A and B are shown apart, each in its own frame.
Chain A
Amino acid sequence: MTTLLSDTWFVAQRELIKFFRGKIRVVITLIQPVIWLGLMGNMMRGLTNNPMAAQAFGTGNYLTFMTPGIILMTVLFGGVFGGVSIVWDRRIGYLEKLLAAPIHRGAIPFGKTLAMMIQGAIQVIAIMVIATLMGVRFASGFGGILYILFLAMLFSGILSSLTLSLAASIKTMETLMAIVNLLTLPLMFTSNALFPTSVMPSWLAAIARINPVTYAVGPIRELTISGWHWDKILPGTLVVFGLVVVFMLGSQVVFGHATTE
């Protein structure tokens, strides 16, 4: 068990060293939320001036409504790189090197996922700082901010584990990226990340209600806009938690199977 933990950490460490070394990547990570919040927030500001719409959004400030959506979008699009890094490692032979070492085999998918979760957390912190500077106030305070961070990391873990499982059987980067795009964009736009389900056409709202992104956005938005209402926070938390357990264990099984010949 302790080897699993330490091995996981060293697999993750490799990714993190590279993440911080890519200075441009870190800068982009920070600029991205500014663009999203600044651009989208301003474009949509007119919406919440309408009192009816403001009621649907739950806040008179569209930025406050949108910040949870941007948080989720960031970890959704970022988490998928867990699978990409495995495809790359297989190509350069690094995966074989890891498998030849006496490390716990499960540490490979776990470590990749942990790295994605930490990178996601850094991005989410950046978004929250920038949102605060733009006037967004988190209703649930500092505790709520930590809770949001925790949920966002778990969601990143779901995406990373999912793409890691896909990468076990998909050996080319191009195919994997195509599948990832096919998956993430609809997931994003059929959720309540950018628009409340109450203003969606009924068919879209029906899809949104079973979309895991909606479940993750729910508690985050609740904590951002109104505060600690556990009846609204708990269901989404449980779904996210359940999914992360299922997908992480799934990645273990799929990865273990794919690397045994």
Chain B
Amino acid sequence: MSKAIEVKDLTKVYHGGVRAVNGISFDVEEGEIFGFLGPNGAGKSTTIKVLIGLLNPTAGDLHINGVDIRRHPAEIKRATGYAAQETAIDDRLTGQENITLQGHFYHLSRQEIQTRSAEVLNLFDLYSRRNDLTETYSGGMLKRLDIAEALIHRPRILFLDEPTLGLDVQTRQVIWGYIERLRRQQGMTIFLTTHYMEEADALCDRVAIIDHGEIKALDAPAALKAGLGGDLIRVQLAGLDGSAESVVAGIRTIPQVHEVESDGNGRYRIIVREDGEKVIPKLFSICNDVGVRIETVSLKTPTLDDVYLHFTGRQIREAEESQETHVRSRFARRRARR
């Protein structure tokens, strides 16, 4: 596979002196869904804006489809689609008018705009509402229209900045479905940013955890989670009466088990490399054989939350409800009321 995006030592310092991105490097494969996971202000949007030519990088080597983005900005703009964090739809225009204008801004012919807008509006199930003013659209429809617009010039790489920010859970999953379909049907490369763990987990082939402008970890979600040491099983045993050692020895014979710790009161922490749910029945049969009762059992699989916590030392939730998000959602509500 060839590289869709190559970033080497990207640094972006704003005029005010804020160092938003600090020497990050990563590659995105063609046809991959690649995610940037991190709180607001981590440098996610800045990275996207540099890659599509909205911002000039302070330093770094950046290539898209092998083309140097600084040398051929116009070519990069035609090869990439971009849906910003804020859905930039003109609510005094219809869906069709919005997308037609977008087509003109990408210098498509009238004929091309006609066929392609019908195509993408159908793809996002908006065709029947195309002649309605977008002020009558729901938040999810606006986001779908925004992504549809980003596809009008048939880009090979799609950049989505927080594609589901502020949407409810169902709508979010609907958007995920569309994103997955784009990759499956068209082999599109998709670069997205998010601060939702579930989103990165559900969609992304690989995830980069970014904090304070630096990449802290980069791998497939499953590998990142596995890197934390696997699943954790807690059991409370009763009726041990001297058979504790044989129980622990028995547990250790289960191939997936990595470590067993006891607190001496019949409580055990068992760290399992993988498939924690398959280990639990085996625990029951071992305890049964020696006449030991299992009173409680729990299984905890690591989430990207744990991964994030591990690499940044803080939980993403703290940073999530920042002032910025708050102001933006208030503004969106005000717009919705008009």
A78–B335 CA distance with the chains assembled, in angstroms: 24
Indicate if A36 sits at the interface (CB-CB under 8 A): no
CA distance A92 to B146 in the complex (A): 12
Q: Taking the nearest CB of chain B, how far is it from the CB of A223, in angstroms?
A: 37
Smallest CB gap from A107: residue in B = B105
| Chain B positions within 8 Å of A18 at CB level | 90, 92-93
A7 to B53, CA, bound (A): 19
Total B residues in contact with A, Cβ cutoff 8 Å: 29
Please indicate the chain B residues that have their CB under 8 angstroms from the CB of A97 in the complex. Answer: 82, 84, 88, 102
- Does B92 contact A21, Cβ atoms closer than 8 Å? yes
**Contact of B249 with A by CB under 8 A:** no
Bound together, the chains give a CA A257 to CA B15 distance in angstroms of 13
Q: Once the chains bind, are B105 and A101 in contact (CB under 8 Å)?
A: yes
Q: Point out the residue from B56, B88, B97 that lies within 8 Å of A94, measured CB to CB.
A: B88
Task: Chain A residues near B93: list those with CB within 8 A.
Answer: 14, 17-18
Give Cα distance in the complex from A21 to B105, angstroms: 22
A249 to chain B, nearest CB (A): 23
Interface residues as binary, B66-95 with A (CB distance below 8 Å gives 1, 0 otherwise): 000000001001100010111111101100
A253 interface residue (CB < 8 Å to B)? no
Give the size category of A's interface with B: 20 to 34
User: Closest CB of chain A to B72's CB: distance in Å?
Assistant: 11
What are the residues of chain B within 8 A of A10 when measuring CB–CB? 101, 104-105
In the complex, the answer to whether B86 meets A98 with C-beta atoms within 8 Å is: no
Q: Assuming A10-B101, A17-B97, A100-B77, is B15 touching A261 (CB within 8 A)?
A: yes
Interface of A is mostly: helix
| Highest count of chain A CB atoms <10 Å: which of B84, B97, B104 | B104
Contact A99 B54, beta carbon cutoff 8 Å = yes
Q: Is A172 an interface residue (CB 8 A)?
A: no
A40 within 8 A of B: no
- Say if the beta carbon of A260 comes within 8 Å of chain B: yes
CB distance from A203 to the nearest CB of B (A): 44
B107 interface hit (Cβ, 8 Å): yes
In B323-338, the 8 Å CB interface with A consists of 331, 335
Asked if A93 and B106 make an inter-chain contact with CB atoms under 8 angstroms apart, the answer reads no
* Chain B residues near A (Cβ < 8 Å): 14-15, 52-56, 74, 77-78, 82, 84-90, 92-93, 97, 101-102, 104-107, 331, 335
Report yes or no: B88 in contact with A101, Cβ–Cβ below 8 A. Answer: no
Which residue from A7, A14, A102 sits with its C-beta under 8 Å from B74?
A102
Q: Known contacts A6-B107, A102-B74; can you find 17 more A-B pairs with CB under 8 A?
A: A6-B104, A7-B104, A7-B105, A10-B101, A10-B104, A13-B101, A18-B93, A22-B92, A92-B88, A92-B90, A94-B88, A97-B82, A98-B105, A100-B82, A100-B84, A103-B105, A261-B56
CB distance from A49 to the nearest CB of B (A): 48
Q: Which B residue's beta carbon lies closest to that of A3?
A: B107
Q: Within the assembled complex, what's the spacing in Å between the Cα atoms of A261 and B78?
A: 21
Shortest CB-to-CB span from A134 to chain B, Å, is: 34
List residues of chain A with CB within 8 A of the CB of B86: 92-93
| Dominant secondary structure at the B interface | loop
Q: Which of A3, A17, A18, A261 has the most CB of B within 10 A?
A: A261
| Structural contact, B84 and A93, CB atoms closer than 8 A | yes
The 9 closest A-B pairs by CB, nearest first: A93-B88, A93-B86, A101-B105, A102-B77, A10-B104, A97-B88, A94-B88, A18-B92, A100-B82
A254 to chain B, nearest CB (A): 16
Least CB distance, A123 to chain B, in whole angstroms: 20
CB distance from B111 to the nearest CB of A (A): 16
Say whether, besides A18-B93, A94-B90, A260-B56, A102 and B84 are in contact (CB < 8 Å): no
Alpha-carbon gap, A173 to B129, bound state (A): 32
User: What's the least CB distance linking A10 to chain B, in Å?
Assistant: 4
Contacting A96 at CB < 8 Å: which of B54, B92, B102, B331?
B54
Q: How far is the CA of A91 from the CA of B106 in the complex (A)?
A: 22
| 30 pairs from A and B in contact (CB 8 Å cutoff) | A3-B107, A6-B107, A7-B104, A10-B101, A10-B105, A14-B93, A14-B101, A17-B97, A18-B90, A21-B92, A22-B92, A92-B86, A92-B88, A92-B89, A92-B90, A92-B335, A93-B86, A94-B88, A96-B84, A96-B88, A97-B82, A98-B105, A99-B54, A100-B54, A100-B82, A101-B102, A102-B77, A102-B78, A103-B105, A260-B56
- CB-CB under 8 A from B331, the residues of chain A are 91
Interface positions, chain A 109-137, Cβ under 8 Å from B, are none
- Compute how far the CA of A101 lies from the CA of B15 in the bound complex, rounded to whole angstroms: 23
- Within the complex, the shortest CB–CB distance from A181 to chain B, in Å, comes to 23
Name the interface residues of A1-37: CB closer than 8 Å to any CB of B: 3, 6-7, 10, 13-14, 17-18, 21-22
User: What chain B residues lie within 8 Å of A92 (beta carbons)?
Assistant: 86, 88-90, 335
Q: Which A residues from 73 to 93 make CB contacts under 8 A with B? A: 91-93
